């Protein structure tokens, strides 16, 4: 089996791209003994996900992963046995030449989608003029796709309620909020404030803090602050490591997530969640959202409530009128979400499928 793998990551979607690549790199090394090099174009952003990373160094080892700064002056003359081009980031021309000489296996890792066409295009070869074959690899929710990132031993089958980050109050609704700034954040806070019972919203430090501050009539709000208004309390957390964020998701009753990395982690947390896809022109992101909702919640009796709240969160209609309907069926949604998590965990994971696929095409 090919032992040396390179992963190229160009950070476009804030933390989502590097989040996925970092999890994958660590799993490939820890579970399959592969020597993994992760090329990153923006070390300053990556440092938020990888706190041990020194953004001033062009080369370093973190958690047995070799991290290299992807820059023009880098040495692209030595290619790995397997090269993962994450999310069509476009490999350097010099590196592609080195790949052709080494006859590297070339995997273009695509974004996760539940759209029906994904299975038809998954793992399809694209022969190149230089003799290489570029394979398009699609993560997904069925056995006919590349699967989902899931480390062995992940605690996704039994939701937990214990987390040092959260208040020990069994009577309140615990909500985590991680989203893009274009989400109707203030409408959500208004709906939560009008809740009959106590609601605590945990907001990790991110680009939405100014929107949260606006709701409370504040100019700014910082990590560590707690603000209460009627039955709503907002607790601002520091930017969390992946491990701490995973723990937060597992401990909350409802999670608002975005992009890809936090979306998948919400699935393994086995708690109800509302997903906000990354905005794309021509409403392509809404097609992805609709495909996911149709597939994931196909057998849920409360599907309408779930779809309505997702649509509101995507800006398609007001949020406040549909919030209570969703909340009234939260118990049913929670049971269903746990079942879905358990079913998906029975499928082979992304890293395992990648390793097996690369072995097959040798």
- List 81, 85, 115, 260, catalytic entry: 260
Query: Which residues are CB-contacts of 342 (< 8 A; sequence separation ≥ 6)?
Result: 157, 270
Tell me the C-alpha distance between 309 and 312, whole Å: 5
Both tokens of 198, joined, read 């106590």
Residue 66 to residues 4, 7, 52, 70, 137, Cα–Cα distance (Å):
11, 10, 12, 12, 23
Answer for the pair 121, 46: CB distance below 8 angstroms, yes or no: no
- Count other C-beta atoms under 10 Å from residue 133's C-beta: 12
Q: Is residue 260 annotated as part of the catalytic site, yes or no?
A: yes
Order of strands, sheet of 173-177, starting from the edge strand that comes earlier in the sequence: 226-229, 232-237, 199-204, 173-177, 254-258, 273-276
Both tokens of 292, joined, read 């996911």
- List 17, 115, 246, 290, catalytic entry: 17
Q: Is residue 17 annotated as part of the catalytic site, yes or no?
A: yes
Helix boundaries (H) for 78-220: 93-102, 118-121, 185-193, 209-215
Q: Which residues carry out catalysis?
A: 17, 260
């Amino acid at each position: 089996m090919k032992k040396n793998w390179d992963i190229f990551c160009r950070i476009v979607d804030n933390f989502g791209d590097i989040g996925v690549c970092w999890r994958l790199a660590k799993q490939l090394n820890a579970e399959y003994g592969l020597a993994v090099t992760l090329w990153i174009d923006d070390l300053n952003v990556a440092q938020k996900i990888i706190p041990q990373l020194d953004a001033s160094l062009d080369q370093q080892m973190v958690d047995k992963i070799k991290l290299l700064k992807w820059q023009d002056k880098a040495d692209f003359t030595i290619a790995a046995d397997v090269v993962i081009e994450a999310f069509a980031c476009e490999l350097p021309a010099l590196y592609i030449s080195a790949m052709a000489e080494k006859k590297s296996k070339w995997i273009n890792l695509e974004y996760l989608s539940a759209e029906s066409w994904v299975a038809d295009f998954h793992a399809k070869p694209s022969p190149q003029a230089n003799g290489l074959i570029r394979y398009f690899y699609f993560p997904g929710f069925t056995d006919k796709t590349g699967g989902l990132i899931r480390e062995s031993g992940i605690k996704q089958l039994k939701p937990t309620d214990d987390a040092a980050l959260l208040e020990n109050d069994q009577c309140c609704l615990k909500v985590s909020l991680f989203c893009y700034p274009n989400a109707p954040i203030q409408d959500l806070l208004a709906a939560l404030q009008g809740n009959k019972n106590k609601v605590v919203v945990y907001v990790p430090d991110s680009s939405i803090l100014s929107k949260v501050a606006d709701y409370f009539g504040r100019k700014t709000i910082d990590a560590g602050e707690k603000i209460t208004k009627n039955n709503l309390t907002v607790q601002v957390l520091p930017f969390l490591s992946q491990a701490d964020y995973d723990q937060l998701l597992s401990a909350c009753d409802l999670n608002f997530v975005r992009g890809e990395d936090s979306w998948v982690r919400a699935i393994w947390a086995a708690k109800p969640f509302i997903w906000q896809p990354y905005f794309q022109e021509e409403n392509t992101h809404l097609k992805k959202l609709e495909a996911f909702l149709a597939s994931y919640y196909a057998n849920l009796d409360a599907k309408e409530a779930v779809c309505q709240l997702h649509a509101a969160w995507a800006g398609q209609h007001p949020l406040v009128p549909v919030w209570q309907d969703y909340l009234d069926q939260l118990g049913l949604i929670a049971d269903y979400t746990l079942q879905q998590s358990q079913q998906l965990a029975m499928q082979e994971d992304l890293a395992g499928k990648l390793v097996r696929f690369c072995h097959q095409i040798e």
